[in-house]
Every structure is written in structure tokens, then in C-alpha cells.
Structure 1
Amino acid sequence: MFTLIGDLIGSREVPDRAAVQRRIGEVLGRVNDTIDTAQLMEPTVGDEVQGGFRTIGDATLATLLVRLQLAPEVDMRFGLGYGDVTVHDDDRRPLLQDGPGWWAAREAIDKLKGKHGTCYVGPDDDENAPHPSFVNAFLLARDALVATLNDRQHRMLLLALRGESQRAIAEVEGITESAVSQAFARGVRAAHDAQVTFGEAG
């Protein structure tokens, strides 16, 4: 399973932690409705979230959907892993579990060393899992590109990932289709297409 651990950045500086936690819960619920997860995304302890996925494409998409929906007020960093997972109590929430999959995700988030973005730790000799260099090259480029987009472009990217047309996006944003087309040409389309193409490959 592809595992995910997310960590809220700058949580100690958040003025209303309760409001942020409610918002995170709502965002995770929407992601669970969008992606066929192996384990639902859910809050855990210490301003962290977790989830499990059948493909690396779904795992990376989840990180992007969460970040886009939390922006611009708050952000999360993510560690992704791959490996076996043991659930000790599937009635408890959050799930009581461990195993190599979770240790890998923890190692990945520790590798970020407080930075923004996403990191993946997985085996380099398992035919069922992509090579870490392949995944991390994509994540570095994707996250750097998304960081260049402004708040409106983030909203456009989120809508595009949900399958909305440029015409529908223009209506939501209250702007012309031409303005949307220009925004897509300045990075939105590239970020969208990169994520979709990676998902198809992974």
C-alpha cells in the first residue's frame, strides 16, 4: 500500500487551531469522496493526517488536492511511503496500525526537514512500486511549478483536477474564457497535465 502522512506547517502560529482542524477535516472528507482510497484520509494526532492508497498516482493526487484546498491560509508537507501495513484495531479512529509502509512515510516526511512539499520513500527493487528517484523527480518539479501559481490559479487548477472545463472555470471565477486560457498557458495546464500523466503512468 502507498501510505501518506501529512503535517500541518506552522501549526503553532495558527490563531484559531480549532477552526483549522475543522477545515482540514472537511478537506479530507472531500478528498475521500474524490479518490478511491485504500484507507480513508483522516486526522491523527499532533496536527497530522494519514491515508492509504492503491497507486502512487492517487497518493500524489491526494497531496495536491489537500494543499490546494487549504491554501492560502495554511499548508501541509507530506511524506509518502510504500510497504506492508498492519492494522491492530480497525474500529479505532484514527486507525491503530504500523508496519514498513508507515515507517517509510515517516522517513519521507522526516527527510523534508521542515521544508514545504512532498517526499516519497520506497524500495528501488520492487516491481510493484515505482523507483523513488522517478517519483521524487516528479514531486520536486510539480511542487515547484504549483508554488509559482497565484491564489486564483490554484483555484483553477483544483477545478481542472475535478474535471471542470475552462468555460465552467470562467463562470466560477467570474472572468472571461480568454483570461482562463491565459492562466492555463502560464502554468495551470502544465501542473494539471503533469499530475494526470503521472497518475496514468503510476
Structure 2
Amino acid sequence: MIGDLVGSRKSTDRRGLQQRLNTALARSAADHPVADPLVITAGDEFQGSFPTVGEALHASFLLWLDLAPDGDVRFGVGWGTAQVLDAETGTQDGPAWWQARAAINTAEARAEHPGTRHARFCYRSGPEGEGPSEPAVDAALLCRDQLVGSLAARSLRILGGLMAGRSKTEIARDEGISTSAVSQRAQRDGLDVIVAASAMIREIV
């Protein structure tokens, strides 16, 4: 998985955004199984590898929610093998990374078009089509991006709480609104659907 902060150079608090990214990466490493830890590689880009496509997509979505709405990130997930080129530095190469790079480039290109401006996640199967179905996974990600990209800041916070397994009562208390208001917003904005779809995406192997 390759991630990249979007437009961070234009941020009025780039240092603060970088610190938030570091904290989010550390939290992700503690909460999710990884084959290789998430590390910042250069500038605003970071990468890591996961045991399954689903775990990579789940961890990346929680990272996105962790930084939203002030920070925006795009992600590319690729399926394949990787070879360690330098054990000391951890430098790797191979189809997994080529495909992840192709995926994040596609996500960036999609975001430049009005109809798919909310695109932030993309998946690419192996060079010969190995791994989970690319069209099926990518279609699910594109639809989820559209739903999430249309949410207001409060709905994003509520979604983050739901994804973390918090109850609507707990979320309502933090938001200073009623549990009924949280439930109504979750229904109106499709938050429960996003949570359910994300759980299914996590199961992709």
C-alpha cells in the first residue's frame, strides 16, 4: 500500500499535518496486522505491506478517516510479490509495489475529473491478473469514495466513530446531540451502509 498526502504543501499548518500523519501511522501499526510497518518514504508519501488486500484497504480507510477533514490522503493498493533489495534500509521492489504505484496514479488521475473528483482509493491486481478481482474491488472503492466524499465534517466524525466500533450513544455524547439525531444522520447519509460495505471489503483476501 502506498499513501500520499493530498495538497499538503498548500496547508497553512503543514508541520501540524505531518505530526498528525505520524500519529495516525503509529496508531495504525498498533491496531492492524502488517507484513511491513507503515513508514514515510519521502516527503508526503508513505508505504507498508499487509497480509491481505482487505486488511490494506481497511487500514488505509481508517487512516483517511483519522486525518479527515483537515488532511486528505490518496491510496494505492497493489497485489503481488515483493523482494527486499536492501535489508538495512528495508528497500523493496517487485510487482506488489509496481501495482500499488499504478493504483495511486489512477486514483490521482480520477480525482482530476469532476465526475470522479472524490476518488481517493484504487486497487490493482497482479500484472497477470493475479489476486482478488480488480474490477469488483475497484468498483466498490469508487462507490464508497463517492459516498464518503459527499459527507459533511460532522458526518465524517460520526462515521469515524462507527468504524471504530463506538455506539451511537457514545458518539452522540461527544457531538453534543441526541442518539436519535446520530441515527437519523447515519440513515440519511448512508453511514451504516458505508460501515457494512467496509466490513465486507476488509474480508477480501
TM-score normalised over the length of structure 1: 0.89
How far apart are the structure 2 equivalents of 1:74 and 1:157? 16
Q: Does the 8 A contact of 2:55 with 2:203 survive in 1?
A: no
Q: Cα distance, 1:152 vs. partner?
A: 1.2
Q: 1:197 aligns with which of 189, 194, 200?
A: 200
How far apart are the structure 1 equivalents of 2:187 and 2:65? 19
Q: 1:178 aligns with which of 166, 174, 180?
A: 180
How far apart are the structure 1 equivalents of 2:41 and 2:66? 19
How far apart are the structure 1 equivalents of 2:82 and 2:203? 24
Q: Deviations over 1:135-158 (max 9, x none)?
A: 101100111111121111111111
- Same amino acid, percent of matched pairs: 41
Aligned positions of 1:99-178 closer than 5 A = 99-114=94-109, 115=111, 116-123=119-126, 125-126=129-130, 129-178=131-180
How far apart are the structure 1 equivalents of 2:147 and 2:157? 14
How far apart are the structure 2 equivalents of 1:81 and 1:5? 9
Q: Does the 8 A contact of 1:149 with 1:188 survive in 2?
A: no
Counterpart amino acid of 2:70? E
Q: Is 1:44 equivalent to 2:41 in the alignment?
A: yes
Aligned positions of 1:35-74 closer than 5 A = 35-74=32-71
TM-score normalised over the length of structure 2: 0.88
Q: Give the aligned CA root-mean-square deviation in angstroms.
A: 1.6
Aligned positions of 1:83-102 closer than 5 A = 83-92=80-89, 95-102=90-97
How far apart are the structure 1 equivalents of 2:22 and 2:97? 21
How far apart are the structure 2 equivalents of 1:85 and 1:201? 20
Counterpart in the other structure of 1:10: 7
How far apart are the structure 2 equivalents of 1:75 and 1:125? 30
How far apart are the structure 2 equivalents of 1:74 and 1:162? 19
Structure 2 segments unaligned to the other structure (5+ residues): 112-118
Structure 1, 141-150 or 167-176: larger mean CA deviation: 167-176
How far apart are the structure 1 equivalents of 2:105 and 2:200? 28
Structure 1 segments unaligned to the other structure (5+ residues): none
How far apart are the structure 1 equivalents of 2:129 and 2:44? 33
Hey, which bits of structure 1, 4+ residues long, moved more than 6 A?
A: none
The secondary structure found in structure 1 opposite 2:203 is: helix
How far apart are the structure 2 equivalents of 1:62 and 1:30? 10
Q: Does the 8 A contact of 1:80 with 1:108 survive in 2?
A: yes
